[in-house]
Amino acid sequence: MIGVGVDLVDIARFERAMVRTPRLRSRLFASDETVRAGKELPLHSLAGRFAAKEALIKALGGSGAIGWHDMPVVGDEHGNPAFALRGEAVAAAAERGITSVHLTMTHDAGMAIAFVVAEG
């Protein structure tokens, strides 16, 4: 194990920020990670994805030049959350000897949480 990261997001606060700043959605999320089965994901799901990105930054040991679109959260073939790392996130993982990243996330009681383990 090379790194671990966890993050917790208050869903109501996240939703207020998204409503107040509509461009925030496109700054934080790649277009391919905000839609599932042809429908826009609800804001509580996006809050979980934001927590996942923050947890990944912690597992990597910092963000450096990584952009929000370099670490999209997608579903694997079973619908489980996973990262589709690209760009600077791939470079940062390789630099640290990370060969796989595991992600789990959930939301309940107005909070979204994500946990990331980076292995090498």
**Residue spans per domain, the chain:** 3-119
In our burial notation (b when 16+ CB lie closer than 10 A, e otherwise), range 28-50 reads bbbeebbeeeeeebebbbbbbbb
Task: Report pLDDT for 118.
Answer: 98
Task: Report pLDDT for 70.
Answer: 96
| Cβ neighbours of residue 61 closer than 8 Å, sequence gap 6 or more | 3, 96
Task: Report pLDDT for 36.
Answer: 81
Task: Report pLDDT for 100.
Answer: 96
Averaged over successive runs of 10 residues, the pLDDT of the chain (120 residues) comes to: 97 96 94 85 95 97 92 88 95 96 96 98
Task: Report pLDDT for 78.
Answer: 86
Give the Cβ contact number of residue 111 at 10 Å.
18
List the CATH code of the domain at 3-119.
3.90.470.20
Task: Report pLDDT for 35.
Answer: 85
Is this structure's pTM higher than 0.85?
A: yes
Task: Report pLDDT for 24.
Answer: 95
